[in-house]
Amino acid sequence: MKPFVLAALVGIALYAPLYAPLAATAGAQTIAPAKPAPLRQRYFPLVGYGLVIGLPGTGDDPAKCPMMVEYLKRLLDGQTTTAAIDPASLRGQVAAVMITAQLPPDPQVSHFDVQVSSMCDAKSLAGGALLTAPLLAADDKAYALTRGTVAPCAYNPSVAGEGCIVNGAVRIAP
């Protein structure tokens, strides 16, 4: 705490009892002190990794993006299907993406926007569906889950390989 703030608080604490009798004798009403302003609130950056599926030929080329195929295999591992994934059949229909968002400081805000960016060579993510993915903070804890249909971002709709999901993330307890 800064010295002048500390001195002001000590001064108020020392002299407040002296003013109380004066206020009572003059018939004045005591005024409750105002609530202190909250410290600067800030948004917390979140990041995640996921897959956008259902793209109309504008997704990743599996030959150039083997991580997309690996992620899809890991996602399907343990599911009821045992079919092998043919990377050639995925050409342009799936994209590996990085997901970013800003966690609002107000805990009452449960849904917020996310940005989705291609990690490989997808030409467009518009119209694809982002599969459910966790969003992590710097402390490696999941603070939100995200999913939804990717649309061009309103602030810059012409950027290739990027998109937004309005209210696409939901806050969860870490």
Tens digits of per-residue pLDDT, 86-104?
A: 777 778 889 999 999 999 9
Q: How many domains does the chain have?
A: 1
Rounded Cα distance between 54 and 149, Å, is: 10
What SS3 class is residue 124?
coil
Residue 29 in domain: no
Give the Å distances, CA to CA, from 143 to 41, 46, 104, 152, 167: 17, 8, 11, 25, 15
Rounded Cα distance between 153 and 115, Å, is: 8
Q: Residue 152: CB partners within 8 Å, gap ≥ 6?
A: 126, 158, 163, 164
Residue 34 in domain: no
Give the pLDDT confidence score for residue 82 in this predicted structure. 59
Give the pLDDT confidence score for residue 170 in this predicted structure. 96
Residue 35 in domain: no
Residue 79 in domain: yes
Residue 73 in domain: yes
Residue 104 in domain: yes
Residue 28 in domain: no
Which residue reads 């467009």 in tokens? 124
Give the pLDDT confidence score for residue 7 in this predicted structure. 43
Q: Give the range of the structural domain holding residue 94, as residue numbers without chain letter.
A: 44-171
What stretches of 31-161 adopt beta strand conformation (E)?
44-53, 94-103, 111-118, 129-136, 142-149
Residue 76 in domain: yes
Ranges of residues in the chain whose predicted pLDDT is under 50: 1, 3-16, 18-19, 22-24, 37
Give the pLDDT confidence score for residue 155 in this predicted structure. 79
